[in-house]
Structure 1
Amino acid sequence: MSTPGHTISGEMPSFLTNVPAYTRSRSLALPASQRRGSAIANAIGLRKRSELDIVLDGDADFVHSYSTYDEIKGHAVIKFEKDTSFDDLNITFEGQTCTYVEKIATTAPTTGRTTGRHTFLKVQQPIAEGLLPENGLFEAGVTYTVPFTFVVPDRLLPFICSHKVDTEQIRREHLQLPPSLGDPSVSGDGHMLMDDLAPEMSKISYSIRARITKWNATGRLLEVADKLERIRIVPAREEAPPVEVDDMESDYIMRKEKSVKKGLFKIGKVGRLTAETTQPRSLRLPHPQNRQPEPVSTMATINLRFDPASLEDLPPQLDSIVSKLKVYTFFGAAPYKITPAARRHDNWSTLHGIYPESVSLSSRALSTVSWVRHGPAERESFSSSDLSRRPSGYSTTSTTSIPEPSCAYESGSPYYTARLPVPIALPTASGSSRPKVFVPTFHSCIVSRTYSLELNISFRTPGTNISSSHVTLKTPIQISSEGGIRPLQIQETEAAIAAEIEQQFGLYEANQLEEAGLGLESPVYEETEPDTFISGTRHMSLAQPVPSPARAPALHSGVDASAPPEYRAGAFNTYSSRDRLGGPRTQAVSLPAPTA
């Protein structure tokens, strides 16, 4: 029942007020007294009773969790203590990403941050006639109930990602639904609050929002009541093809050679050890509403080869293997044109950053692993090194993979091989003082999450009692996730919907905008002197920001500093400009230098 012809105008508010600062400890489990409001305060009237509330169907110990194709059902409850007039009630399912990147000036006496906001999802609930009073008046003491049902989509609309990208595959990645990330109030498995390993500089949140508004006599939109209920989304994510590894530019180490020295003082060599691995299958998360007692696990394989320096030299004694999971969160105040990676990261950019974490997985002894001696005539038809160099990659547990000879191998000499299967399992929350939760591997316009597996093998020269050296391999690994059941009607009408979307939103593609002469609106931000690469931190405290004038941005490798316009959707004309759908937008603030 909104009044037509009214629009919202004015300057875009500061994004900084919508990126709350929090410490890592808040993402861990909290006592019940800190999670719920005081019943005594409510009883004696110290806390105002909510006039608008959102009630979600189903039980949840901490937070309601959903996946792709799940139905989000509930109802909005409205009850005022006095007669209240209104013009419109909006119930929406919203998704938003907030980021910021610190800027540290090297010569100027100021510092600041560049912030980004991306409202990538906003679905409105149609309200049937008869659920709200026709005279536009909520009567005092009367309870009104408005049901709603939302379905978690499997992808976003095309105009949500209309910035420039290097390949269309990156755009398809950006149009997939990202998981909830960086919000300590919902980071958990639906039963316990946990740490999702995200920095405070990146936050992806979903919510059900109800808002009652009215127009005053001067045509200004007034907010009568507003309620927001946070939910957790873990979308379905299938395992992508293995990452193509470039030995020169990649941070991964799929093959490594190392000389094995003689004795305790490492004088002379007994041979050369080669270790190879391939990308293992993904760690697959269950549906967020399903709890499974077994840990999420997969299997990695390491193939070893030892080329002795002489016929009398024996292979080294294997001691232990330690596995770690490396977690990388990429965040930016402007869209990424490429798939971010640690080695390809632009260390001098003031528009994006990276936050690394490390999680210990397991450690086990290798004293029972035995070497197999091969004669000079033995040669397998293919090797694990061949597999690791193929662009498509392989996830293999073949027992016949033999690494290529090392650089010290002499043709016609014997060699030794060994195979190490390495079970990989994500840590569980039970018995841990700092429980962790993992989200699927994903890439969105301004936030990405990737994982890698680090395998450290220690060994010692035969005849010694202490480990003399070690070999470390690093391979990419993905985390995938299961979703809900795909409705039949979606499968039948998917092609028709896709054609309609292309017809309606094709104009928002960047190339068509340029051809039409419409151009793209650049994000507004300010940069100080170029700073060195800033690795993210989860403990950041800054003074009150002071807005500063903006100027034209400079472009940085891997970041697209152009963003699509702020699209005005008629169905959401009761919201501020910062909440409209569209591509990521940036804003910068500068902070004065602290005085002595």
Structure 2
Amino acid sequence: MGGKIDLLQQSRKRELQIDIDHHYASKVYTTGSPITGTATFTPRKDTPFETLRISLAGLARVRRDDLDYPKIATHWFLRTDMSDAELVYPGSKVFRARESYTIPFHFIVPDRLTTNACNHKVDVGYVRSHHLCLPPSMGTWSKDDMSVASARVEYGIQVDIVTPSSKKGQNNTISNKHIINVIPYAAEEPPLNIMPLNIQYNMQKDKKIRKSLISPVDGRLTAVASQPRAVNLDADGQSASESTVHINLEFKAKGPGVCPPKIGTVSATLQAQTWSRQSPSLNFPNMGLLRDAYTNYTTILSKVPVEGSWETEPEDKETGADSTSHSATVQVPFSLPMAKRLWIPTFHNCLISRTYRMEVALEVGNTTLRFNVPVQIAMESLDFPLEAEVDGWTPDDFGVMEHAWPGWTGRYSYGDYGPRALRAVGGDVLPGYSA
């Protein structure tokens, strides 16, 4: 019986077509991008209906495979509806067989979400501010975005035609969806405040230096790495800026005749960490004691010679210290390999987060110093400036919205947080949006 219903739904789905203007498979939409097109319904038989809804929808979905059946958590963080679709409704509320009904739509990717997109408890306020930023698409790209199949962020133009059912109190829905890929604006954040108990990042190393295992100690080497500036993606996500990890070295020799160790080579691996939960996150997952991120590894550098030289610090005659101090700064420039992989910005959603860290291995003398350094990927280069207007509409018009209709539950939803149908708060009615 279920198979027959699925076949019927697929058959009706083919009657409903969505066309987006100037769209192609690899196109990237960003903050302020207009999305225009038409939805066309050509029924094979007379189809009475109750409502027709055209929406720009965004959802995050997390699946966990249980022993009995998979558990799926769905979070509809964005849903904006067209309001003027009813202008082309047939007065009889019946779509006639073999007639085509075309409804235009016009959406703009907002620069932020309604506050109803994150209404759960959080540990600190800045977590909620991140949850109210649009996440990038994840799991829908033609290139490898280093995601896991069980965690997905999806955007699309969705059309739903609700038809009456023969059973009292139930409705059937004819639906179709056109997936689009979105990389929203993501500003560079300040460096992370990494606490001593954090297990994700290791920014400092302190080692005794010997010529061999049985040799006396020549001195103590202290190395401190700093978080690099954010890597900035271009608006199409196909190229990115370079960045540099700085490592400050200090060697305190046991005596004036001891030379500092030779600075050798550096290797680096960039780790893309995808965090997902079936209940909303109270804090940033990479800043606690969690270890359950799905991690993808990309080699950035492999034993590259380092340009760095030691400088001898002047002796402090007042302290009478018998040790000599040497210092050096090592710069590790890097860039993202863009050919085969797609790098999405760092983000934190209620259910899903994407963070990056770089493992840096620096050879100094006969020892190797290993660091885990946070790396942020941002997107600040916009084709659409936030201050400009598109057809007389400003992005702010589409950013301040409020919840307009109750939650939706799909075939199975574990912890469904409801869709977000949005409308303007005060002011003039927005073109094409429900008031």
1:370 is displaced (CA, Å) by 2.2
Tell me: CA distance 1:424–1:573, structure 2 relative to 1, closer, same or farther (3 Å): closer
Cα distance, 1:450–1:129 mapped onto 2, change above 3 Å: closer
C-alpha separation in 2, matches of 1:49 and 1:211 = 10
SS at match of 1:341: helix
Alignment of structure 1 residues 136-535 onto 2, 5 Å: 136-181=93-138, 183=139, 186-187=140-141, 193-216=142-165, 218-223=167-172, 225-263=174-212, 266-288=214-236, 291-292=238-239, 295-341=240-286, 343-345=288-290, 353-366=292-305, 368-377=307-316, 411=321, 413-429=323-339, 435-460=340-365, 468-482=366-380, 483=382, 484-486=384-386, 487=388, 490=394
Task: Flag the 1:313–1:168 CA change in 2: closer, same or farther, 3 A.
Answer: same
Contact 2:204 2:224 in 1 (8 A): yes
Q: CA deviation at 1:59?
A: 3.7
Letter in 1 for 2:232: R
Deviation at 1:230, TM superposition (A): 0.9
State the 1:480 CA deviation: 0.7
Deviation of 1:287 after TM superposition, in Å, equals 0.9
Q: Could you report, residue by residue, the CA deviation over 1:440-478 in whole angstroms, capped at 9, with x for unpaired residues?
A: 111111111111122111133xxxxxxx22011222121
The offset of 1:88, in angstroms, is: 2.3
2:13–2:175 Cα contact (<8 Å) kept: no
Residue 148 of structure 1 deviates from its aligned partner by: 0.5
Instruction: State the partner residue of 2:424.
Output: none
What is the one-letter code of the residue matched to 1:413? S
Q: Which of 413, 418, 428 pairs up with 1:581?
A: 418
Change (3 A) 1:204 1:138: same
Which ranges of 4 or more aligned residues in structure 1 deviate by more than 6 Å? 491-494, 572-577
Q: Determine if the alignment matches structure 1 residue 97 to structure 2 residue 60.
A: yes
Q: Deviations over 1:238-293 (max 9, x none)?
A: 01121101123353222211122114x552222222211211110111112x744x
Contact 2:74 2:417 in 1 (8 A): no
* Residue 124 (str. 1) matches residue 85 (str. 2): no
1:154-195 Cα distance to aligned partner (Å, 9 max, x none): 2222122111111111111111111111x2xx22xxxxx211
The residue matched to 1:422 in structure 2 has which SS? strand
Amino acid aligned to 2:297: S
When the two structures are superposed, what TM-score results if normalisation uses the length of structure 1?
A: 0.61
Counterparts of 2:64 and 2:156, CA distance in 1: 24
**How many percent identity over aligned positions?**
27
Runs of at least 5 residues in structure 2 that lack an aligned partner in the other structure: 1-10, 421-435
The residue that corresponds to 2:20 in the other structure is: 56
| Count of equivalent residues | 402
Structure 1 residues 320 and 277: alpha-carbon distance in aligned structure 2, compared to 1, 3 A threshold: same
The 1:139–1:427 alpha-carbon spacing in structure 2 relative to 1, beyond 3 Å, is same
- Residue aligning to 1:569: 405
Determine the C-alpha separation between the residues in 2 that align with 1:207 and 1:116: 19
Displacement of 1:149: 0.9
Query: Given residue 235 of structure 1, which amino acid in structure 2 is its aligned partner?
Result: P
Q: Look up the equivalent residue of 2:200 and give its one-letter code.
A: D
3-state SS of 2:285 partner: coil
Question: Residues of 1 paired with 2:306 and 2:231: CA distance?
Answer: 27
CA-atom RMSD in angstroms = 3.2
Query: Shift of the alpha carbon at 1:310?
Result: 2.0
Answer whether contact 2:52 2:85 (CA < 8 A) is retained.
no
- TM-score, normalized by length of structure 2? 0.82
Q: 1: distance between equivalents of 2:219 and 2:282?
A: 46
Consecutive unaligned residues in structure 1, runs of 5 or more = 1-46, 104-109, 188-192, 348-352, 380-408, 430-434, 461-467, 506-567, 584-596
**Secondary structure of 1:170's partner?**
helix
